[in-house]
Copies of this chain bind each other. A is one copy, B any other.
Amino acid sequence: MNNLSVSVQTEDFDAACLQRELLSASHEEGAVVAFTGYVRSENIGQCVNNLLLEHYPGMTERSILAILSQAAERWPIVAASVVHRVGPLGVGDQIVWVGVSSEHREVAFSACEFVMDYLKNEAPFWKKESTAKGDRWVEARATDAERARRWSG
């Protein structure tokens, strides 16, 4: 399908722009659900100064496209797109954007959440936080693995 797109980039993105690019020329879609992830000022009780996002070039794009393909097999989506940033990020910066369009909202909500849940568990990104107590690699949340599992079955 050529209505699935993935970009891994250091540059910031404009959510409204991405959403316009997602829309079909034929106006089939009645609903777009878009997720944006941000760098929080606090994580596990510690103040975050900035973040470094590392990834596995090649595998990253491939794994996200595989997740989008799974979503497209599972739901009648019109289009879906993921933009994920890498490199140094500051507090309040946008990290990731996932947009899904479909005829009706149920599909767009489910598919967008599915993509985020899988991305959190399968796309090879790693966050390193800079805090007052020094740098630390962010640990994976156990709930993220649980949330991905609930889609199978």
At the interface, yes or no: A76 with Cβ under 8 Å from chain B? no
Are B35 and A27 in contact, CB atoms less than 8 angstroms apart?
no
Chain B hits for A16, CB < 8 A: 14-17
Known A32-B35, A33-B34, A103-B40; contact A27-B92, beta-carbon cutoff 8 A: yes
Binary per-residue interface labels of chain A (35-58) against chain B in the complex, 1 for a CB within 8 Å, 0 otherwise: 111111110000000000000000
Closest Cβ–Cβ distance, residue A71 to chain B (whole Å): 14
Q: Which of A2-10, A79-87, A105-113 contacts B (4 or more CB under 8 A)?
A: A105-113
At the interface, yes or no: A77 with Cβ under 8 Å from chain B? no
What is the interface size of chain A, counting residues whose CB is below 8 A from a CB of the partner?
A: 35
**CB-based nearest B residue for A34:** B34
From B31, B40, B103, A35 is in contact (CB under 8 Å) with B31
Question: With A and B bound together, what is the CA distance between A41 and B108 in angstroms?
Answer: 18
Chain B hits for A34, CB < 8 A: 15, 33-36
Q: Which of A84-112 contact B (CB under 8 A)?
A: 91-92, 103, 105-106, 108-109, 112
Q: List 17 A-B contacts (CB under 8 A).
A: A15-B16, A23-B38, A26-B41, A27-B39, A27-B41, A29-B40, A30-B39, A31-B36, A32-B35, A32-B36, A33-B34, A33-B35, A34-B35, A40-B103, A109-B109, A109-B113, A109-B116
